[in-house]
Amino acid sequence: MKKKMLVIGAVAAGTSAAAKARRVDPELEIKVFADGEDISYGACGLPYYIGGTIKTMEKLLARTIEDFARHDIEVRNRCQALEIDPGERTVLLRDLVQNRNFTERYDRLVIATGARPMLLDCRNSNLPGIFTLRTVSDGVAIKEYLEKKKPANILIVGAGYIGLEMAETLSRLGLSVTLAERQPHVAPNMDADMAAKIQEHLEQHGVRVLVDTEIVGFEGQETVQRAFTPSSSFPVDFVLVSIGVRPNTQLAADAGIKLGVANAIKINSRMETNLEGIYAAGDCATAHHRVTGKDVYIPMGTTANKQGRVAGANAAGGSEVFRGVLGTGIARVFDLEISRTGLTEKECMPAGFDFYSHSVECRTAAIPGLAGPIWIKLTASRADNRLLGAQIVGRNNAAKRIDVYAAAITMGARLEDIYDMDLAYSPPFSPVWDPVLVALNRFR
């Protein structure tokens, strides 16, 4: 009998696992189950679909069920996994279309159940007009609501990447946007000094920014009409709640699979859970942080793809490892680009590092018309001068420079390893001293 691999979940990690497993073992029987309608989509593109720069929903879909069928991978959507029996090596599933249960046996199981948006735990938080943005369906629903109901007063709760990107998107659609963040500054995964530049830019583009601000309730008749902070209220007719996600791990936990940080599934570098033959990957799983050496829960599309691939390879009999994350992130906010990798100052403290930081401002190019400002903040370990983290805010090709620091941190670079790196220079692309190098000067 052929060996059989089941995959629960069919977005980034699940489909990556299935595709990689097929490449490793052409004979393996592979079945993938998704509880939703859509599979293999790029959720990070949703703000751009809503804004119209990605024209159709189909552009968000990397691969279709038919694409997988051509590689002899069966993908069934609208099938919910109800129970895993690790002893029998079976999964009980429910066909949500025909409303009936069925059981599938497995030799190898990959859990890629993803995450779900956190909701506001407050009065009337489920009024129509209050949305989260996670799935293609969410995106389609928001786009339809904007077109049909023509809301004018937007509230975005949470100023992380999705909140910031949607602030841009909805402002560009001509709507009045208020962005409320419970933390003391926007972009809460960056340091306050860098975030201040982002807030300034948002405000220059007409976004009303409320920091240190908790939304404690809503009011409305048929749809949301008013939002409340502890001390005030204001009219809203559309709300996006983007305050983070929680891993979908109840199914795994019920089967005796060990959870870790943030209740995500604890995995090792081979994506193995504590139960033999069961792997986990993506937004339902932990990841190893390459700077702290600790498990973290930083759900990202990039990590989901990488972990999925490693899980699929190993489940199919290969041998691969994923060596972890740096918490790298990037976003565009109007004309501003923001990025980070490694640890911020805020993150260094609980991690126990004796650190120091310096910031610089310079320009991204030597031709005036192509150059923009770039602020770089670097954080290093006092003990051994190792680069711990970098943050960038700027314009005109500023933020993607973070990858050079990510490469350096991955390789364990000390500051002196970066000082004299031979980076590329020509006037359209950088000053003769690239900002990446200039930022190091402050440490010399």
- Residue recorded with tokens 């339902």: 284
User: What's the closest the beta carbon of residue 100 comes to a second copy, in angstroms?
Assistant: 35
User: What's the closest the beta carbon of residue 260 comes to a second copy, in angstroms?
Assistant: 19
Query: Under the criterion CB under 8 A, does residue 54 sit at the interface with a second copy?
Result: yes
Positions in 306-365 near a second copy (CB under 8 A): 306, 310, 322-332, 337, 339, 341
Among 161, 218, 279, 334, binds a second copy (CB under 8 A): 161
Query: Under the criterion CB under 8 A, does residue 305 sit at the interface with a second copy?
Result: yes
User: Which residues fall within 8 angstroms of residue 311, CB to CB, at 6 or more apart?
Assistant: 13, 17, 110, 112, 271, 279, 280, 281
Query: Under the criterion CB under 8 A, does residue 303 sit at the interface with a second copy?
Result: yes
User: What's the closest the beta carbon of residue 406 comes to a second copy, in angstroms?
Assistant: 6
Query: Under the criterion CB under 8 A, does residue 433 sit at the interface with a second copy?
Result: yes
Among 13, 39, 406, 415, binds a second copy (CB under 8 A): 406
CB 190 within 8 A of CB 390: no
User: Which residues fall within 8 angstroms of residue 24, CB to CB, at 6 or more apart?
Assistant: 312, 313, 316, 317, 318
Give how many residues touch a second copy by CB under 8 A: 68
User: What's the closest the beta carbon of residue 409 comes to a second copy, in angstroms?
Assistant: 9
Query: Under the criterion CB under 8 A, does residue 368 sit at the interface with a second copy?
Result: yes
Q: What is the spatial distance between Cα 29 and Cα 108, in angstroms, rounded to a whole number? A: 10
Nearer Cβ to a second copy (350/412): 412
User: What's the closest the beta carbon of residue 358 comes to a second copy, in angstroms?
Assistant: 16
CB 423 within 8 A of CB 439: no
Query: Under the criterion CB under 8 A, does residue 288 sit at the interface with a second copy?
Result: no
Positions in 58-97 near a second copy (CB under 8 A): 59
Q: What is the spatial distance between Cα 15 and Cα 420, in angstroms, rounded to a whole number? A: 41
Sign of CA dihedral 341, 290, 281, 241: negative
**CB count in 10 Å sphere of residue 90:** 16
DSSP states of 92-122: EEEETTTTEEEEEE-SEEEE---EEE----S
CB 363 within 8 A of CB 212: no
Beta-sheet strand order (sheet of 355-363): 329-333, 336-342, 387-394, 373-381, 355-363
Give me the catalytic one of 44, 79, 284, 348. Answer: 44
Catalytic: 122?
no
Query: Under the criterion CB under 8 A, does residue 429 sit at the interface with a second copy?
Result: yes
User: What's the closest the beta carbon of residue 44 comes to a second copy, in angstroms?
Assistant: 6
Instruction: Return residues touching a second copy (CB under 8 A).
Output: 12, 42, 44-45, 48, 53-55, 59, 161, 165, 290, 300-303, 305-306, 310, 322-332, 337, 339, 341, 366-369, 397, 399-404, 406-408, 410-413, 417-418, 420-430, 432-434, 436
Q: Which residues are catalytic?
A: 44
